[in-house]
Structure 1
Amino acid sequence: MTLSLCVYCGSRDGDLPLFRQSAVDVGDSIGRRGWRLVYGGGSTGLMGAVADAALQAGAEVLGVIPEKLMVREMGHGGVTELQVVGNMHERKHQMALHSDAFVALPGGIGTMEEIFEVWTWRQLGYHRKALGLLNVGGYYDELLRFIERSKDHGFLWPDVQELLLVDTDAERLLDRLAAEADRLKTNTPPDEALVASGGVSDQI
C-alpha cells in the first residue's frame, strides 16, 4: 500500500551517530517502499537527514514549517513541497491531515510533544491512524518506563498504551506501522469512517 508517513524527529543530530543513522534508514526505507514522507520541513539535524535520504531514495517529501522557524531550522529548499505556515498549531494540523501514520525518532521536547499529541487524538477518537516510536540506542527507555508507571498508577489504560507501537529496529517498525495502517483502513467501523477520512480535520 502507498502510505504517507509523518516523521517527528530532532532538528539536531544528538550525541550518537546512531541517531542520525536511524533517520537515514527511515528516510531510505520510505523511498524504497514507494511511500511519501511528511515532516517538519527543516534541513538540519535528523529532520534534514530523513528528508535527504527519502529524496535520494525517490520519495515524495512534504515539509511543513512555521515562518518563525524558517531561519532556525533552515527550511529545506529541495523537498517536493514546502508549506510555510503561520504557527506551530497549523504546522501540526497540516502534518496530521496529510499523513496515514506517525512515527517519532530521537528528538527533544518538541518531538515528544508531537507524538504524544497524536497519541492523545487517537485515544479520543479524532483519528484512526497508526502510531510508532523508534527507540534506538535506548534513547526512549526512561520515557517508556514513565509510560509504564502511568499505567501502573491508573492514569493510562493498557489498551491506550498498546496504541503506540514501539521498536528498536527501523525496518521492523515500519512494517508494523504499515500493517496497522492497513488494518485500521480496512476495519474502520461505519460510525468512525468520517474520522478516518479526515472529516474531523478542523478539530485536530
Structure 2
Amino acid sequence: MFAMAGAIAMMGLAQATDALAQQARPDLVDPVHRGYYKRPGPGFACVIGPSEKLSPEQIKALSEHACMRIGPLVVGMAAAAVKSALGQPSRQIEGPKGTTVWVHFLGNANEEPYLLASIWKDRLVAIQVTGRSPADKYGFNGLTLGATADNVTKQLGKPMLVGPSSQPNTDVWSYKPWTFSIEMSGGRVTSIRVADPQFD
C-alpha cells in the first residue's frame, strides 16, 4: 500500500512553464490569509479578502499562495509550521527534485486517508491528500475527498486535460498551467494535489 502512496507522490504532471502559471513567493506567505480560486473565464484568479495589514501590492503578491492550500497547510510555509499543524510525520521518503516527502496518516496508521507534504530547503513545496475516506479538514477550494465530479466542475470548471493516473481505474484532472490537480475514481475525488510550480 505504501509503495502506491509513494508512487502517487512521485507522479507529477508536466511542469507548468507557461507564463500564466503562478509564481512561488515563500517570503510573502502568511498562512492566516486565505483565498479561493475563481474561474471568471478560461483561467483562474486567486481572490482574498481585504486586509488592513497589507497594501494592495502585497495582497496581489500574496494572492496565489493564499489559494495554494489544503486545509491549514499552504505551499511555501515553513516546515516547522507543518509539524506544528500535523505533528511528526509517520514516515519520510526521498522525493523528486531533492525533496523529502513527509507521510501523515489522518486516521489510523497505514490507512487512508493520508497527506503527503513535500519539503525542500525547510519549506513546504507540495501538498497531496489521498483516500476514499473523508478528510473534511483537508479541503481545497471547497472540495474534499469524496466530492463528486459535478462538485469539482462547479468549483473549478472543466479540467484543461484529463489523463490516466498511476492508480488503476483513476483519472487525473489537470488544470495546468495552474499547479493543482484532482484524481477521480468512480466519479469521486480520491486525491487532491497542490504544488509550487517548480515542483509540479
TM-score, normalising length: structure 1: 0.28
Which structure dedicates a bigger proportion of its chain to strand?
2
The two structures have a TM-score, normalised by structure 2, of 0.28
Where is the helix percentage greater, Structure 1 or Structure 2?
Answer: 1
